[in-house]
Amino acid sequence: MKNIRNFSIIAHIDHGKSTLSDRLIQSSKIISDRDFKDQILDTMDIERERGITIKSQTVCLPYTAKDGKSYHLNLIDTPGHVDFTYEVSRALASCEGALLLIDASQGVEAQTLANLYLALEHDLEIIPVINKIDLPSADIERVKGQIEEDLGLDPETAILASAKEGLGIEDIMEAIVELLPPPTGDADAPLQALIFDSHYDAFRGTIVHFRIKQGTIRPGDRIRFMSNDATYKVEEVGVFQIVRVPQKELSAGEVGYMIAGIKTVSDTRCGDTITHHRQPCDKPLPGFKEAKPVVFSSIYPVASDGYEDLTVAMEKLKLNDASLIYEKDSSAALGFGFRCGFLGLLHLEVVQERLEREYDLSLILTAPSVRYRLVMNDGEELVIDNPALYPDPTTIEYAMEPYIKATIIVPDRYMGAVMKLCLERRGINKNYQYLTNDRLEMIFELPLAEVIYDFYDKLKSITQGYGSFDYDLIEYRRTDLVKLDFLINGERVDALSMLIHRDNAVARARVACSKLKDEIPRQMFKIAIQGAIGGNIISRSTVSAFRKDVTAKCYGGDITRKRKLLEKQKKGKKRMKMVGQVMLPQSAFLAVLKTDSE
């Protein structure tokens, strides 16, 4: 066991985690140059296209140190985006140490700090690595100063590297072997293993990724999951070396996978403990904090007969993504679907894209909302995240919405622009301090509902990409909440409704009405699109009708003939309007989600 090291790579977005993993994998020669491709651990198409990591991936690297000893290094690559912090915390629970990557030109950013605190919570040994030293804009001395001041780590221990050019890879390998502690645990004790991930294989069932804390596991063993007492017989255990490599056994301190013919996907839960059926361990491992969803949206199939396929797809996706939470839902306009909870808007986009690609579904999503608490006149408290469940406003004493503490790190020249953005979003400026002579840490308290739409994109654009943002939920506060409905041709469309702060309602309704006007195809009659709060119409736009020139055949003669024909046409249009159905295209639902003229 003293020749095993379990470590992960943590950093802010785009500081080079996946590229460094690529170099470490290449230097260990577990894959031939011919089969190698960039971002080798990012297996999903969507990860490769967007150039981001979404799922943590594991790989076991053999390494021979300078003193001639051979080691097994278990690397767990992690995502950097704030929506996937949950993946990072799971990865860290199965490690003893972490490489903290810092970009030599960007320096320490918000997620660098957030991930450092996550690692310190797990008592991990941390090795700072300054990456991208080959960039012309790299300023190594400045970054070393930030490591000391912002992170409280010793800047002299920082390793200089360029993952792209392959510089400093040998030093990183040596540092992992020398500075990180080996795992502890007794291979002869009763089995105790922590599930930190799993994925579904159509041929082998559920493949469980786990880290063994105590004991040994071999094919043929009967094991038990402690959360639900399901028992299985192990068919295969092994390690990941890009492909699955079966082993005779795995013992304490190792990270690997297990196949045990698990058909019901809901049986494997991240954070569950695996033990032997005959001689179980005393108590389960502490597991993970439940991921708390912050953004809610409903997903419906475009065709109502797609509901069965959507149910199966959601079950399988839930296995690959433990932070996705969903329940059944139905709507008058869209039929049956699911109400889902997400960790943020990027998470929502990723889930939608994965459902559409991997399971070949066509979906409609409703406007995302957050969870509100309503205190009723009789003192009862309701929690709602769906505008359809909003009760009669006269029965509500007051409403409360979630607030977040947002930490924004920016160069000080953008201070005014960031201040303006946050105050527009009903933010409260709590504090700001200089981290170094030109970098500010600004702390705001913001309503979460104002952040989930496009706050992150706006922040990136006003700070030219230098602003970084991290947030934590703090508490619920009183708010003036209203339900904004949209009426098409006088009929309410429940899938377009949204809960919104009263001050923003009029502006939001106007934008949405003009968006809908562009998206709804013209009919033979006029279509009124209205935004309403209760019975009050607060905005309107009209899709004008096609006009058939019924007077074309009247040449000359009396004007009354023309008038008679136009009156007749008017009556026909009126009748049509009574029975006419307006079909909303898929793009109309998406148009309402976009806030400004993107």
DSSP string, 172-235: HHHHHHHHSPPP---TTSPPEEEEEEEEEETTTEEEEEEEEEESEE-TT-EEEETTT--EEE--
Please give the C-alpha separations between residue 418 and each of 125, 472, 539, in angstroms, as whole numbers: 35, 18, 30
pLDDT band at 580 (very low <50, low <70, confident <90, very high): low
Q: What is the mean pLDDT of the chain?
A: 81
What φ, ψ does residue 524 adopt, rounded to 5°?
-80, -5
> Which region, left, alpha or beta, applies to residue 490 given φ > 0 means left and ψ of -120 to 50 means alpha?
left
Whole-angstrom distance, CA of residue 134 vs CA of residue 149: 24
Closest CA relative to residue 172, chosen from 276, 36, 49, 73: 73
Please give the C-alpha separations between residue 578 and each of 326, 526, 535, in angstroms, as whole numbers: 38, 11, 21
Cα 156 to chain centroid distance, Å, stands at: 35
Q: Please answer whether residues 76 and 58 qualify as being in contact, where contact means their C-beta atoms are separated by less than 8 angstroms.
A: yes
User: Known binder of ligand: residue 18?
Assistant: yes
Q: Tokens representing 369?
A: 């909302």
Closest CA relative to residue 6, chosen from 260, 168, 209, 205: 209
- Read off the pLDDT of residues 47-60 as tens digits, 9 standing for 90 and up: 767 777 776 678 88
Q: What is the pLDDT of residue 597?
A: 44
Q: What is the pLDDT of residue 589?
A: 67
What residue has token string 């939608």? 352
User: What's the CATH code, domain 372-479?
Assistant: 3.30.70.240
Rg (CA), the chain: 29
Neighbours of 594 (CB within 10 A): 13
User: Known binder of ligand: residue 123?
Assistant: no
Please give the C-alpha separations between residue 279 and each of 105, 215, 221, in angstroms, as whole numbers: 54, 11, 11
User: What's the CATH code, domain 483-593?
Assistant: 3.30.70.2570
- Read off the pLDDT of residues 384-398 as tens digits, 9 standing for 90 and up: 877 878 888 888 888
**Angle at the Cα of 237 from the Cα atoms of 216 and 287, rounded to 5 degrees:** 65
- Read off the pLDDT of residues 321-351 as tens digits, 9 standing for 90 and up: 767 888 888 877 677 888 888 877 778 888 8
Neighbours of 285 (CB within 10 A): 20
Q: Give yes or no for residue 179 having a pLDDT over 80.
A: yes
Q: Give yes or no for residue 502 having a pLDDT over 80.
A: yes
- Read off the pLDDT of residues 394-430 as tens digits, 9 standing for 90 and up: 888 888 888 888 888 888 888 888 888 888 888 888 8
User: Known binder of ligand: residue 470?
Assistant: no
Q: Please answer whether residues 528 and 542 qualify as being in contact, where contact means their C-beta atoms are separated by less than 8 angstroms.
A: yes
Q: What is the pLDDT of residue 95?
A: 83
β-bridge partners, 485: 532
Q: Residues 512-539: what's their mean pLDDT?
A: 83
Whole-angstrom distance, CA of residue 57 vs CA of residue 41: 6
DSSP string, 528-569: EEEEEETTEEEEEEEEPPP---TTTT--SS-HHHHHHHHHHH
What is the β-pairing status of strands 243-247 and 273-276? unpaired
Q: Residues 486-499: what's their mean pLDDT?
A: 81
Q: Residues 293-313: what's their mean pLDDT?
A: 83
Closest CA relative to residue 369, chosen from 386, 344, 353, 391: 386
- Read off the pLDDT of residues 238-268 as tens digits, 9 standing for 90 and up: 888 777 888 888 888 888 888 888 776 667 7
Q: Give yes or no for residue 288 having a pLDDT over 80.
A: no
**Two domains, one topology: 295-365 and 483-593:** yes
Q: Please answer whether residues 201 and 207 qualify as being in contact, where contact means their C-beta atoms are separated by less than 8 angstroms.
A: yes
Q: Residues 100-122: what's their mean pLDDT?
A: 82
Q: Please answer whether residues 432 and 440 qualify as being in contact, where contact means their C-beta atoms are separated by less than 8 angstroms.
A: yes
What φ, ψ does residue 512 adopt, rounded to 5°?
-65, -40
Amino acid identity at 323: S
124's CB contacts (< 8 A; 6+ apart) are 92, 95, 96, 97, 98
Please give the C-alpha separations between residue 190 and each of 201, 217, 248, 275, in angstroms, as whole numbers: 29, 10, 18, 7
DSSP string, 373-439: EEEETTS-EEEE--GGG---GGGEEEEEEEEEEEEEEEEGGGHHHHHHHHHHTT-EEEEEEEEETTE
Closest CA relative to residue 469, chosen from 483, 455, 449: 455
Closest CA relative to residue 497, chosen from 359, 360, 331, 344: 331
Domain 4-179 has CATH 3.40.50.300: yes
326's CB contacts (< 8 A; 6+ apart) are 299, 314, 318, 338, 339, 340, 341
Q: Residues 137-146: what's their mean pLDDT?
A: 86
Q: Give yes or no for residue 273 having a pLDDT over 60.
A: yes
User: Known binder of ligand: residue 133?
Assistant: yes
Q: Which fold has domain 192-276?
A: Elongation Factor Tu (Ef-tu); domain 3 (2.40.30)
Whole-angstrom distance, CA of residue 39 vs CA of residue 178: 27
User: Known binder of ligand: residue 17?
Assistant: yes
Q: Which of 118-127, 331-340, 348-357 has the weakest average pLDDT? A: 331-340
What residue has token string 């839902």? 329
User: Known binder of ligand: residue 131?
Assistant: yes
Which residue did the predictor score with more confidence, 577 or 168? 168
DSSP string, 28-72: TTSS-TTT--SSTT--SHHHHHHT---S-EEEEEEEE-TTS-EEE
Cα 565 to chain centroid distance, Å, stands at: 59
Domain layout of the chain by residue ranges: 4-179, 192-276, 295-365, 372-479, 483-593
Q: Residues 205-227: what's their mean pLDDT?
A: 84
User: Known binder of ligand: residue 458?
Assistant: no
Whole-angstrom distance, CA of residue 365 vs CA of residue 352: 8
User: What's the CATH code, domain 295-365?
Assistant: 3.30.70.870
User: Known binder of ligand: residue 76?
Assistant: no
User: Known binder of ligand: residue 412?
Assistant: no
User: Known binder of ligand: residue 587?
Assistant: no
Closest CA relative to residue 204, chosen from 264, 244, 262: 262
